[in-house]
């Protein structure tokens, strides 16, 4: 079925749920007028529907390939990439000094959702480049900025980030890639990296890698990691791609989904690189890129959820099966099918609103708003985990609505589930996000958490009497979590995060319902009466901590 870009749904969230007008009220973003935003979202939606969406199935059926050391991308991907680049969608929020539009990150987030809904495998490429641009803007010396940022911003060059190694997954501090000072301002970088999304392609002039490596005699662990910029081709005196650097794609990893996205094993053999940021401070620089990517990954979950919902809805209104009491004679008249569709739509709305709420907080933080900065930090792990879990859940329900046909690849329903599954793993697994939430994000004594709950409890509307008690219960649970040692916090971290997502989701739905729109009220009613009660069980699990989790030995678990 044709993909429909959710321009109106996104615009509704911006106008009525997340308070985007607070961003545009600042001089920094004065150019993001209503007309400008509408024009950008409308054009992005058109390109996604007409150019990008047709590539989704083609990329799944005809994956990227490595031929004689050269990556060959899926049919049409180059055309799709260039359509996005020419429209300026690679760097909506980048610094205008280097060719960016300087618009709020919220707009980038909205556009990325539509690109991901149209073709998630291709959307990964601009997402990586956007993160690299932000890292270089904050941490690179001026000479690097002047050379690389215009090329990355225009889309002539693309960017990646290289963290993971075969022996060092989430434990980045265990990496062994090394960098040796060449004495001329460059470094020789050697080592192997895995899971490098879009580590190479055949449609940009150059691919620029940000690589974590360890200098000689650097401290152990993450405190001894530095960040290096390592281009595929070393720019010449005129800034054009010159000689090939000593790096290569060893192989492409065979993935469950996202077949159109070449995920590379990269080998660096004394490759020429430049230090970004300070020595042994590479994680601080890389986290600039990773935090950007965590919001981006949350949005990928929303992207797939929305696309899977559209696919399932189109099937439900056409498929005739069994007897129904409705007028259509198709399965959409079955109560259980309606339940599944309502759940898909309610979860997708809540996850979208949360991602846009986070994006608004990030934009406000750039204006010096300390409260917004704290809000953004606290929302990041919740948005990433809930957004990606929503993508997985909704895609799975979509298969169920299709019945047996959902399990048949030709219908396309299964691709959504395969493509989105990895989103709960990369940029920090959802378990790591939850541990970050109950650990680092509660180091303020719960101030950021309580500020969000204050907002929820103060809200009025017809659903306040249901939501407010749940928010108060979550406040008490937060206080209980703060009293636990870290091991017990970690044992209940995931259900605590999901309970917070449930309460915030209800809050967003209530704000939408307050507009008086009949459909929004119906969705709020569904979420608040059927999904919000799950938070009670989640909070009970969170308070259990780690009790019982280590009662069985490995041998007993295997028995």
Tokens for 54, please give them: 């047709």
pLDDT band at 175 (very low <50, low <70, confident <90, very high): confident
pLDDT tens digits, 25-75: 999 999 999 999 999 999 999 999 999 999 999 999 999 999 988 999 999
Q: CA torsion, points 244, 245, 250, 256, in degrees to nearest 10?
A: -90
Q: How far is CA 541 from CA 432, 481, 535, in A?
A: 17, 11, 10
Please report the pLDDT score of residue 220 as a whole number: 86
**CB proximity list for 33: less than 8 A, separation 6 or greater:** 24
Token duo for residue 449: 């958490």
Could you tell me if 101 and 94 are in contact, meaning their C-beta atoms sit under 8 angstroms apart?
Answer: yes
Q: Residue range 197-214: average pLDDT?
A: 96
What was the pLDDT predicted at 287? Answer: 76
Q: Given a cut of 80, is residue 168 above it in pLDDT? A: no
The pLDDT value recorded for residue 323 is 73
Q: Residue 169's pLDDT band (boundaries 50, 70, 90)? A: low
Q: Which of 238, 267, 261, 406 is nearest to 331 (CA)?
A: 406
Report the alpha-carbon distance of residue 451 to residue 73 in Å, rounded.
Answer: 47
User: Where does the pLDDT of residue 173 fall: very low under 50, low under 70, confident under 90, or very high at 90 and above?
Assistant: low
Q: Rounded CA gap, 156 and 205, in Å? A: 6
Q: What is the CA radius of gyration of the chain?
A: 23
Residue 467 reports pLDDT greater than 80: yes
| Residue 207: how many other CB atoms lie within 10 Å | 28
Range 233-237, long-range pairs (CB < 8 A, 24+ positions): 233/205, 233/206, 234/272, 235/147, 235/206
Q: Which residues contact 97 (CB under 8 A, 6 or more apart)?
A: none
Q: How far is CA 31 from the centre of its chain?
A: 26
Residues of the chain with pLDDT > 70: what percent?
98
- Is it the case that residue 133 has pLDDT exceeding 70? yes
**Pick from 91, 282, 90: which is nearest to 177 by CA?**
282
**What pLDDT does 506 receive?**
98
Expressed in percent and rounded to 5, the helix, strand and coil fractions of the chain are 60, 15, 30
Q: Where are the alpha helices (DSSP H) in 317-369?
A: 335-365
Average pLDDT along the chain: 95
Q: Judge contact between 441 and 179, C-beta under 8 A.
A: no
How far, in Å, CA of 431 to CA of 528, rounded? 26
Catalytic residues: 427
**What pLDDT, on a 0 to 100 scale, did the predictor assign at position 427?**
86
What are 290's two structure tokens?
């990773």
According to the model, what pLDDT value does residue 46 have? 98
Query: Do the beta carbons of residue 198 and residue 158 sit within 8 Å?
Result: yes
Confidence band (pLDDT; 50, 70, 90) for 450?
Answer: very high
Question: How would residue 262 be classed by pLDDT, with cut points 50, 70 and 90?
Answer: very high
pLDDT of amino acid 82: 97
Residue 461: pLDDT band (50, 70, 90) is very high
**Over residues 189-197, mean pLDDT:** 95
Please check the confidence at residue 128 and state whether its pLDDT lies above 90: yes
Q: What is the pLDDT of residue 332?
A: 94
pLDDT tens digits, residue range 396-443? 999 999 999 999 999 999 999 999 999 999 888 999 999 999 999 999
Query: What residues does each domain of the chain span?
Result: 438-559
What confidence category does residue 291 fall into, taking pLDDT thresholds of 50, 70 and 90?
Answer: confident
Query: CA 368 to CA 35: how far, in whole Å?
Result: 26
Burial group, residue 558, by CB count within 10 angstroms (0-12, 13-18, 19+) = exposed
The strand pair at 157-162 and 206-214 is best described as parallel
């Amino acid at each position: 079925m044709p993909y429909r870009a959710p321009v109106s749904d996104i615009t509704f969230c911006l106008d009525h749920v997340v308070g985007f007008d607070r961003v545009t009220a600042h001089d920094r973003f004065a150019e993001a007028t209503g007309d400008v935003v509408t024009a950008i979202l409308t054009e992005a939606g058109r390109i996604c529907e007409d150019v990008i969406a047709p590539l989704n199935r083609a990329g799944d059926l005809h994956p990227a390939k490595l031929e004689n050391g050269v990556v060959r991308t899926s049919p049409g991907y180059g055309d799709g990439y260039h359509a996005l680049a020419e429209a300026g969608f690679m760097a909506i929020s980048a610094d205008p000094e280097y060719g960016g539009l300087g618009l709020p990150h919220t707009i980038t987030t909205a556009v990325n959702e539509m690109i991901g809904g149209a073709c998630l495998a291709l959307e990964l490429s601009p997402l990586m480049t956007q993160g690299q641009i932000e890292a270089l803007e904050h941490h690179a010396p001026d000479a690097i900025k002047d050379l690389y940022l215009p090329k990355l911003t225009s889309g002539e060059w693309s960017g990646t980030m290289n963290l993971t190694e075969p022996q060092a997954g989430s434990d980045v501090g265990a990496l062994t890639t090394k960098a040796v000072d060449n004495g001329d301002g460059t470094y020789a970088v050697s080592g192997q990296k895995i899971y490098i999304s879009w580590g190479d392609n055949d449609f940009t002039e150059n691919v620029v890698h940000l690589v974590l490596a360890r200098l000689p005699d650097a401290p152990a662990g993450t405190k001894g990691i530095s960040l290096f910029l390592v281009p595929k081709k070393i720019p010449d005196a005129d800034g054009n791609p010159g000689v090939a650097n000593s790096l290569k794609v060893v192989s492409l990893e065979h993935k469950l989904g996202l077949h159109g996205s070449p995920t590379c094993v990269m080998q660096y053999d004394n490759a020429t690189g430049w230090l970004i940021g300070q020595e042994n401070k590479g994680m601080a620089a890389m986290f600039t890129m990773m935090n950007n990517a965590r919001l981006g990954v949350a949005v990928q979950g929303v992207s797939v959820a929305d696309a899977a919902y559209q696919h399932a809805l189109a099937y439900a209104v056409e498929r005739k099966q069994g007897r129904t009491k409705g007028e259509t004679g198709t399965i959409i008249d079955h109560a259980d099918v309606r339940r599944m569709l309502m759940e898909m739509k309610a979860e997708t709305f809540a996850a979208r609103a949360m991602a846009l709420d986070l994006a608004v907080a990030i934009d406000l933080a750039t204006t010096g708003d300390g409260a917004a900065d704290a809000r953004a930090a606290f929302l990041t792990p919740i948005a990433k985990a809930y957004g990606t879990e929503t993508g997985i859940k909704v895609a799975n329900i979509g298969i169920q609505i299709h019945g047996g046909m959902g399990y048949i690849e030709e219908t396309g329903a299964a691709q959504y589930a395969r493509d989105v599954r990895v989103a709960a793993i990369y940029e920090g697994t959802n378990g790591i996000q939850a541990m970050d939430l109950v650990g680092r994000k509660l180091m303020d004594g719960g101030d950021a958490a309580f500020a969000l709950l204050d907002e929820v409890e103060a809200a009025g509307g017809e659903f306040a009497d249901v939501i407010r008690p749940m928010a108060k219960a979550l406040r008490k649970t937060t206080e209980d979590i703060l009293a636990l040692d870290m091991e017990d916090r970690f044992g209940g971290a995931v259900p605590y995060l999901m309970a917070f997502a449930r309460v915030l989701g209800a809050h967003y739905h209530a704000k939408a319902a307050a507009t008086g729109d009949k459909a929004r009220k119906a969705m709020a009613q569904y979420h608040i009466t059927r999904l919000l009660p799950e938070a009670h069980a989640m909070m009970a699990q969170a308070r259990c901590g780690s009790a019982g989790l280590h009662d069985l030995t490995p041998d007993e678990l295997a028995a």
